[in-house]
Amino acid sequence: MARKNNSSKRTFLIISLIIILLMAFIYNSKMFEREPPQVVADETIYWNLKKPLDVKISDASGIKRVLIQLSDGENNITLFNDKYSVHDKELEFNITFPKKGFYSKKNEYTLTYEVVDHSFWNFFMGNKAIKESVIIVDKQDPSVYVVANSYKITKGGVGVVIFKAGDANLDEVYVKTNFDKVFKAVTFEKEGYYIALVSWPREQKNLLNAEIVVTDLAGNVARERIRYYLQDKNYKSSKIALSDNFLNNSIVSLAHDIADETTQDMSALEKFVFINDNLRKESVKTIGAVTDNISYIQYFSLKPFYPLKNGAVVASYGDFRTYEYDKNKVSESYHLGLDLASTSGADITSSNRGKVVFAGDNNIYGKMVIINHGLGIYSLYGHCSSLLVQEGESVMEGQVIAKTGRTGFAFGDHLHFGIVIQGIEVRPEEWMDEKWMRDNLFDVINSAKSLIKSEK
> Please, what is the Cα angle at 455 between 452 and 456, to 5 degrees?
135
Out of 38-52, 115-129, 257-271, which region has the weakest mean confidence (pLDDT)? 115-129
Q: What is the pLDDT of residues 65-81, one digit of tens each?
A: 999 999 999 989 999 99
Quickly state the pLDDT bin for 5 (edges 50, 70, 90): low
Q: What is the pLDDT of residue 1?
A: 52
CA pair distance 298, 300, nearest whole angstrom = 6
| pLDDT band of 444, cuts 50, 70, 90 | very high
Answer for the pair 263, 270: CB distance below 8 angstroms, yes or no. Answer: yes
Q: Kindly indicate the confidence band of residue 12, based on its pLDDT and cuts at 50, 70 and 90.
A: low
CB 341 within 8 A of CB 311: yes
Segment among 98-107, 339-348, 393-402 with least mean pLDDT: 98-107
As a whole number of Å, the end-to-end CA separation of the chain is 104
**Is residue 29 pLDDT above 60, yes or no?**
no
- Residue 87 pLDDT: 78
- Give the span between the Cα atoms of 354 and 371, in whole angstroms: 6
Tell whether the model's pLDDT for residue 248 goes beyond 70: yes
User: What whole-number distance in Å separates Cα of residue 23 and Cα of residue 402?
Assistant: 74
Yes or no: say if 253 and 411 are a contact pair by the CB < 8 Å rule: no
State yes or no: pLDDT of 22 exceeds 70: no
CB neighbour list of residue 54: distance below 8 Å, 6 or more residues apart: 92, 93, 94, 95
Q: How many CB atoms lie within 10 A of CB 402?
A: 25
Gap between the Cα atoms of 349 and 329, Å rounded = 38
| Distance of alpha carbon 425 from alpha carbon 335, whole angstroms | 10
What's the pLDDT score for residue 101? 79
Confidence band, pLDDT 50/70/90 cuts, at residue 47: very high
Q: How many residues does the chain have?
A: 456
pLDDT in tens, 285-330: 999 999 998 887 767 889 999 999 999 999 999 999 999 999 999 9
Give this prediction's pTM.
0.86
The 3-state secondary structure of the chain reads CHHHHHHHHHHHHHHHHHHHHHHHHHHHCHHHCCCCCEEECCCEEEECCCCCEEEEEECCCCEEEEEEEEECCCCEEEEEEEECCCCCCEEEEEECCCCCCCCCCCCEEEEEEEEEECCCCCCCCCCEEEEEEEEEECCCCCEEEEEEECCEEECCCEEEEEEEEECCCEEEEEEEECCCCEEECEECCCCCEEEEEEECCCCCCCCCCEEEEEEECCCCEEEEECCCEEECCCCCEEEEECCHHHHHHHHHHHHHHHCHHHHCCCCHHHHHHHHHHHHHHHHHHHHHHHCCCCCCCCCCCCCCCCCCCCCEEEECCCEEEEEEECCEEEEEEEECCEEEECCCCCEEEECCCEEEEEEEECHHHCEEEEEECCCCEEEEEEEECEECCCCCCEECCCEEEEECECCCCCCCCEEEEEEEECCEEECHHHHHCHHHHHHHHHHHHHHHHHHHHHCC
Q: Are 263 and 254 in contact (CB under 8 A)?
A: no
Average pLDDT over residues 149-177: 97
**For residues 130 and 119, is the Cβ–Cβ distance under 8 A?**
no
pLDDT score at 122: 76
Domains and CATH numbers, the chain: 32-137 (2.60.40.10), 143-233+442-454 (2.60.40.10), 237-422 (2.70.70.10)
Model confidence over 208-228: pLDDT tens digits?
A: 999 999 999 999 999 999 999
Task: Kindly tell me if the per-residue pLDDT of 2 is higher than 70.
Answer: no
Amino acid 340: pLDDT? 96
- pLDDT reported for residue 61: 85
> Is the sign of the CA dihedral 392, 389, 156, 300 positive or negative?
positive
Q: Which pLDDT score, from 0 to 100, does residue 320 have?
A: 95
